[in-house]
Each structure stands twice: as structure tokens, then as C-alpha cells.
Homo-oligomer: A and B are copies of this chain.
Amino acid sequence: MSDTVKYLLDEKDMPTHWYNIMADLPEPMAPPLHPGTGQPIGPDDLAPLFPMELIKQEMSTEREIEIPEEVRDIFRQWRPTPLYRARRLEKALDTPAKIYYKYEGVSPAGSHKPNTAIPQAYYNKAEGITKLATETGAGQWGSSLAFAGALFGMEIDVYMVKVSFGQKPYRKALMESYGARCVASPSNETNAGRAILADHPDSNGSLGIAISEAVEIAATRDDTKYALGSVLNHVLMHQTIVGQECMKQMDMAGDYPDVIVGCTGGGSNFGGIAFPYLGEKLRGGKDTKFIAVEPAACPTLTRGQFAYDFGDTGHLTPLVKMHTLGSTFIPPGFHSGGLRYHGMAPQVSHVQDLGLIESKAYHQTTCFEAGVKFARAEGILPAPEANHAVRGAIDEALRCKEEGKSETILFNLCGHGHFDMQAYMDYFGGNLQDLDYDEGELAMALAGLPSVAAE
């Protein structure tokens, strides 16, 4: 029997529409609120930050929204991405489970993030915007938007969380190779950054702070808008191209997932692979189990509160109802910079609150152990973020072994780890600690959640 089993779609089978989970939710989501009035926001409230077409997508309840031909044209460079059956990993685990993984690391930026970077740049460009400001953690999002900026001839300013900026100078170099500007956050370029630095000159930064900086820049300049790499409805929707391709590829394999695993930071990677299947389940389809895997050091879904909160530390964003650790919560500096966010996509939070998905938290060393096992079996070295999904999938496969079940497990290998070798060096050198957040700090951050009359 062949070891390598790859399912490749023809270009003509690349999805032409994004899937919008809003159309199939059994209960509507709580609306985003204006922090001043406590009232639901409208499109105009978001207009300083986003182009109108993206605002419409953010608020849409239509099941399908067409992917513009110009966007699909760019996607064709690396999409459809391959789906693999991990036979060599199955053998190494000696499991009766069937493990499939979707591989998004084949994009020029090395991760799934261009799936939303390209359309975001496209819609902004179409509305005359020449510059985008954004934040980035590990740098996967920043370099993806930089890539999109190069293709559309737009200026890109990236505020990169300072701890990652220091850990990953090569991500900055990649952004610069694409012509973008990358600044350590908190920076002196914004009021939000200066306020943090005044109180904490040595601040390591956080995604919440970097978002404040980028939002401030966008809100105060006419030619500039803001782009977010996860969390928002339209971003999760853009990632559903991943899950939709999986559906066709699993069909080719003659199989259907019993379990789907994705890692969660802001939620877009998980939503991208899970939501097309969840929608099918909600419309009466098969009963798939969904597992969101997050870092134990930033356990938004497993330890956070489902409440209205700000998306950023500087409190410039609307209030959204989500699983949150509190917008002042600063997670410890573990290696999956893309997962160090205090909040969670409202859509992912909502479906967890409805009991439609499960979540699970892991410390980082066990994730790296899983990633190395995966690399030695399958040849692809995952990004630290993706190692969380690998750990989750392997544990499901080991459960199947224990229970003697031949379940079908699908996970999203959202990026390669070639920019994360310092983390692997630390792991091999025994210098990787299982960091924990401070319980007192978490309690304080949760106590500081805004009180919202509308709740």
C-alpha cells in the first residue's frame, strides 16, 4: 500500500464562494456594541476602519458570498492546497484511526493567513485605500499582509508584538522583503503605544496593544484603513475556503471526518476548517466532533469568561461578546506568538457557548514533542501554533487506539515552522518551559471586564 496519499483538487474545483456560518446558527449572536452608548453598532461606526464591502461581509447573514475573480486568480498560485492522509504518522502511532491533514504551509508566506490578507487588500484597494495598518504576533499575519501589499501595490505598516519582534527578526526581514514597514509594539508612534510605555517602559507588548496602535493609525488617517488577521466574522469567513476544499478532498478519499481539530488564537484557522462542516451538521448532516486546541498559558476558551469585552488593550474597538481573559491580560512569552490573544472570535465563542464545539488547552513542550514526531513521520516541520493542532490530533488518534476505534481525524496544519527554528532549538536544548499565566493577574483582568447594560 502506498505511503503517500495526497488528495489534490483541480483548479476548477477551487471554491468560488466563501461559506458564512451566520446563515446556519441555531441562535443569533449577540451584536457588537458601541463602547460609549452601549448600543449595537452599525456599518457607519466601522467605516473609519474598514472598506464598506468588508463591513457588509462582517454583518452579512447570507450563506454564500462570492470570492472575487481577481482574488481567486491570486489564490491559484498555491491553491487548492493539498490534503494528505498521514499514513506514516498513523504507523508511528500504531493507531487504527485515520489521520488526514490539510496543509496550508504551501502559500508563499508559509501559512493560511494569505487566505484573508489577499481579499482584505483587494477590497481596500478597490475603495481607493493606499495604506493598511495592522498588528502581528509571531509574524505570520504581518508577512501575509505584506505579501498582499506587494501584489496590490499598497503600503503596509505592521505593529509587531515586541517579544516576538525580538524573538523573530527574520519575520520582520520577510515583511521588509515584501516592501512593508515593521515596528515593535508598543511603539512611540501612537497615543496607545506611548501610554503603555509611560506606565511600562519594558513592556513585552501583546496583540491587544498592537491592535490598539494599528486601529489608532487607521482611525486618524484618511488614506489608511485597518486590517485584522483573525477574530472578525469576515476573516473567519475568508478562511472557510480551507474547510470547503477539505470537503471535496475528503469526498475524493471516500471518507468523512468524525473529529476535526484546529488550533485557536483568534479563531480564524479553526473556523476556516470547522465551519463548513459545522454548517453541514447544523443543516442535518453527519455528527462531527470539533476540538479547538489552545495554549494553556493563554486559555481563552477553556478558562475565559463569555462576556462583552474590548478587542484591544487601548479600548478603541467596539465591544464584542466573546470568550476573554480580559483586555488587560498579558500572556507569558511562550513561543506560539499567533496564539497569545486575550480574546476569541465571537463566532467561535458563540458556537462553544451553544455546546457545538469542544476546547482543550496544552502546554508548549508537549506540543513541540508532537510536532517533532509529526516531522519525523511526515517530513513537514509545523509552526509552533500548528503543533497545538498536531498534539490534539495525535491525542485523538491515541484515544482511538485505546478504544479500538477506527475514527477519521482531520486537522489543519496551518503553517510550516521554518521561521520558528529558535523555538525548536530551545526545545531540543531543554530550554523550553511550560509557562503558566498568573492566576491573580487573570482574576484582576476578568474583574476589569466592562459592565455592559445591554447584557
Contact = CB atoms under 8 A, between A and B. Distances in A.
Interface in A236-287: none
Given A421-B170, A421-B173, A379 B108 contact: yes
Listed from nearest, the 6 A-B pairs whose CB atoms lie closest are: A170-B421, A108-B379, A418-B418, A173-B421, A150-B376, A4-B76
Contacts of A421: 169-170, 173-174, 419
A380 B425 contact: no
In the complex, which range does the number of interface residues on chain A fall in?
A: 35 or more
Most-contacted residue by chain B among A2, A74, A177 (CB, 10 A): A177
A408 B260 CA distance: 46
Given A3-B74, A84-B77, A106-B106, A381 B174 contact: yes
Chain A interface mostly? helix
A380 B77 CA distance: 10
Given A6-B77, A73-B4, A177 B379 contact: no
A32 interface: no
Interface string A98-120: 00000000101110000000000
Instruction: Give the oligomeric copy count.
Output: 2
A438 interface: no
B418 A4 contact: no
Contacts of A176: 424, 428
Interface string A392-421: 000000000000000000000000101101
A178 B374 CA distance: 10
A372 interface: yes
A40 interface: no
Most-contacted residue by chain B among A376, A422, A428 (CB, 10 A): A376
A150 B2 CA distance: 17
A289 interface: no
Contact of A178 (B88, B173, B376): B376
A380 B147 CA distance: 9
12 contacts: A2-B73, A4-B76, A4-B77, A8-B8, A108-B378, A108-B379, A170-B418, A170-B421, A173-B422, A177-B375, A177-B376, A178-B375
A276 B57 CA distance: 50
Nearest to A377: B150
Most-contacted residue by chain B among A3, A170, A375, A379 (CB, 10 A): A379
A77 to B, nearest CB: 5
Interface of A: 2-4, 6, 8, 11, 73-77, 84, 88, 106, 108-110, 147, 150-151, 169-170, 173-174, 176-179, 372, 375-381, 416, 418-419, 421-422, 424-425, 428
Nearest to A380: B108
Nearest to A75: B4
A174 B428 CA distance: 11
A401 to B, nearest CB: 21
Contacts of A147: 379
Given A77-B84, A177-B375, 6 more contacts: A150-B375, A150-B379, A151-B379, A169-B421, A169-B425, A173-B428
Given A150-B375, A376-B179, A425 B170 contact: yes
A418 B77 contact: no
A381 B176 CA distance: 11
A379 B425 contact: no
Contacts of A4: 73-77
A147 B379 CA distance: 6
